[in-house]
Amino acid sequence: MKIGITCYPTYGGSGAVATELGIALARRGHEIHFITYQQPFRLPAFLPRVFFHEVDVVRYPLFEYPPYDLALAVRMHEVVREHRLDVLHAHYAIPHATSAWIAREMLEDDGTGVKIITTLHGTDITLVGQDPSFQRLTKFSIERSNGLTAVSHYLKQETYKAFGCTACAVEVIHNFIDPAVYDRAAYRPLLREQVADGRAVVMHVSNFRPVKRVRDIVRIFAQVQREVPSVLVMVGDGPERVLAEQEARALGVHDVTHFLGRIDAVAPLLASADLFLLPSQSESFGLSALEALACGVPVVASRVGGLPEVVNDGVTGVLCDPGDVDAMVAASVGILRDRDRWQAMSAAAAAAARARFAESDIVARYEAFYARTLG
C-alpha cells in the first residue's frame, strides 16, 4: 500500500506512534509518505520506502495566523496525486483530519479514491477538540473519515460521549513498542553508573505540559528519597519544566534531581530506571508508561483515562488517584524497598508489554484496518 502519514512531528506520544508505525510499515514493504511541517523527531535521515514532504506555510503580512491547515491540505492533495496514495492517515484529529478531508474533496474528480483514516490520540478528543471553537469541526472531521481508530477503549468511549457520533465505528488499536528497542538487557546502565552512585533511579519522561502534573513528581520524589536513597531523572522539556525546577529547589532536592532535556532515544535511559512516575491529570493511553514497562520498569501512575489498560495495578505497577501524592509516595517506597517485589514487577512489566503491545501484532492490526477500509 501507499500510505500518507500526517502527525505532529515534534516531541509527543502521537508523533512518536505515527512515526514508528510508518517505519514499521515501510519495513513490511509499504511505501510511506510523511506529510508535515518538519521531519518527525523519531524519523532517521534515510530509510528505504520512506519519504518526507515538508509543508511550507507562506508568511504574508495579512496573515496574523498563517493558515497551516490549508497549506497542509494542499500538500496532501499534491502528494496523493503525484504518488497515487491509497490512504491518508491523520494522527490527532485537529487539524490533520480536517486538512485530509479538504484534500479528499479537492481530489474528487481525480479518481484517486484515497481513504482517510484518523487515529484519535487524546486531547484532540478530551480537551482541544471539545473547545467551542473546534467542537463542531472535530465532530465533522471524525464523521467524514473513512476509518477511525482510538488508542484506548477509554478514548473510544470519550469520543462517543463528547461528540455523540455513535454511528462512527471506532476501532481500538493500542499503542505499541518494539521489544528489541525497549529491552532492559540491551543497554549498559550508563545513567545508573554516572548519576545514581548506588541509589535508585526514579524517572519521568514527558513534554512537561500541565496535564502531566510535573510538580507532583518532584513532591513524590522529595518524600521517597527520605525513605530510599534515590535520584530523580526528568527527561523532556515543555512549559512546566521551570515550575518543576523551582519545586526541586524549594523542596531541597535539586542536587539529586537531573533535568536532561529532550532526548530522542529514551530506551537506553529507561533501561537504567528502577521506577517510572506518571501522575497525570488525564492520559488517554500513556505511551511513556508502556515504554517504561517494556524496559522492566514498574510504573506508579494515576488511575485515569487509558492508564488502567496499560498498567496492571498491583502487578506491573500501582495506580493511585490523581493528585494523591501521599498514596504515590507509599506505592513508590513499597516497590523500591522490597527487592523481591521489584524483581517480580519488573519481570511482569516486561512480559506484559511484549504480550499485549508488541509492534508486530499492533502494526498487523493497522494493516488489516487499512485493507478493510479500502474495501
Site residues for ligand GMT per CB under 6 A: 8, 12-15, 17, 121-124, 151, 175, 211, 282-287
DSSP letter, residue 323: T
Closer residue to ligand GMT in complex, CB, 42/254 = 42
The least CB distance from residue 364 to ligand GMT, in Å, is 18
Closer residue to ligand GMT in complex, CB, 94/218 = 94
The least CB distance from residue 44 to ligand GMT, in Å, is 20
Q: Which residues contact 200 (CB under 8 A, 6 or more apart)?
A: 228, 229, 230, 231, 274, 275, 336
Q: Which residues contact 77 (CB under 8 A, 6 or more apart)?
A: 102, 103, 106, 107
The least CB distance from residue 13 to ligand GMT, in Å, is 3
Question: 337 in the Ramachandran plot: left (φ > 0), alpha (ψ -120 to 50) or beta?
Answer: alpha
The least CB distance from residue 274 to ligand GMT, in Å, is 22
The least CB distance from residue 269 to ligand GMT, in Å, is 18
CB 43 within 8 A of CB 52: yes
Closer residue to ligand GMT in complex, CB, 107/120 = 120
Closer residue to ligand GMT in complex, CB, 232/310 = 310
Closer residue to ligand GMT in complex, CB, 90/222 = 90
Closer residue to ligand GMT in complex, CB, 11/221 = 11
Closer residue to ligand GMT in complex, CB, 23/287 = 287
Place of cell 465532530: 139
Residue type, 153: H
Residue type, 231: V
Where does the chain have alpha helices with state H?
13-27, 68-83, 96-106, 123-126, 135-144, 153-163, 190-191, 214-227, 241-250, 267-270, 287-294, 307-310, 325-337, 339-357, 359-374
Give CA–CA dist 134/131, Å, rounded: 5
The least CB distance from residue 206 to ligand GMT, in Å, is 8
The least CB distance from residue 284 to ligand GMT, in Å, is 3
CB 95 within 8 A of CB 121: no
The least CB distance from residue 21 to ligand GMT, in Å, is 11
CA angle at 50 for the pair 115 and 90, rounded to the nearest 5°: 35
Peptide bond into 268 cis (omega under 30): no
The least CB distance from residue 17 to ligand GMT, in Å, is 5
CA dihedral for 286, 291, 292, 296, sign (positive or negative) = positive
The least CB distance from residue 281 to ligand GMT, in Å, is 8
Closer residue to ligand GMT in complex, CB, 138/175 = 175
- CA-atom Rg of the chain in angstroms: 21
Closer residue to ligand GMT in complex, CB, 52/357 = 357
The string over 221-252, giving b where at least 16 C-beta atoms fall within 10 Å of a residue's C-beta and e elsewhere, is: bbbbbeebebbbbbbbbbebbeebbebbeebe
Closer residue to ligand GMT in complex, CB, 152/225 = 152
Angle between helices 96-106 and 68-83 (to 10 degrees): 50
